[in-house]
Structures are given as C-alpha cells and as structure tokens.
C-alpha cells in the first residue's frame, strides 16, 4: 500500500488538488504496479505564515 504525503502551501483550488491526487495516483500505479485502490495520497496544507525559506515567511514575500 503506497502512501504519498504532499506538503504544500494553502491556496490551490479544489479542482487543482483533485487533479494533483489523480495524477499522483496514476504515476504511483504506473511505476509500482500497485492498484489505484491501494494508493493513498495525503495532502497537508500550510498557511503561508507557517512556512519559511531562508528566514523569511512565505506570507512576508512580495
């Protein structure tokens, strides 16, 4: 049972998230041979003020 965890910054539409889950599932089934019903995709969305790069919060970027 493949489990894929994806962390991303919040702000994508429901349609984008759905397409992401579908595409990831397709890639996993293609490359592992696991049936789609066994592929689990977990999306974890973070608020921009809860993620930083190089000491700068994403919410502070211009």
Integer CA distances (angstroms), 53 to 7, 12, 27, 37, in order: 14, 20, 28, 36
> Which DSSP helix (H) or strand (E) runs through 23?
helix 14-32
Catalytic residue (choose from 1, 2, 6, 26): 2
According to DSSP, residue 55 is labeled: T
Decide if 2 is catalytic: yes
Catalytic positions are 2
């Amino acid at each position: 049972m493949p489990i894929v965890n994806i962390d991303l910054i919040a702000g994508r539409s429901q349609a984008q998230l759905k397409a992401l889950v579908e595409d990831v599932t397709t890639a996993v089934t293609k490359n592992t041979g696991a049936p789609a019903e066994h592929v689990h995709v977990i999306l974890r969305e973070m608020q921009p003020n809860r993620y930083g790069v190089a000491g700068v919060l994403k919410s502070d970027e211009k």
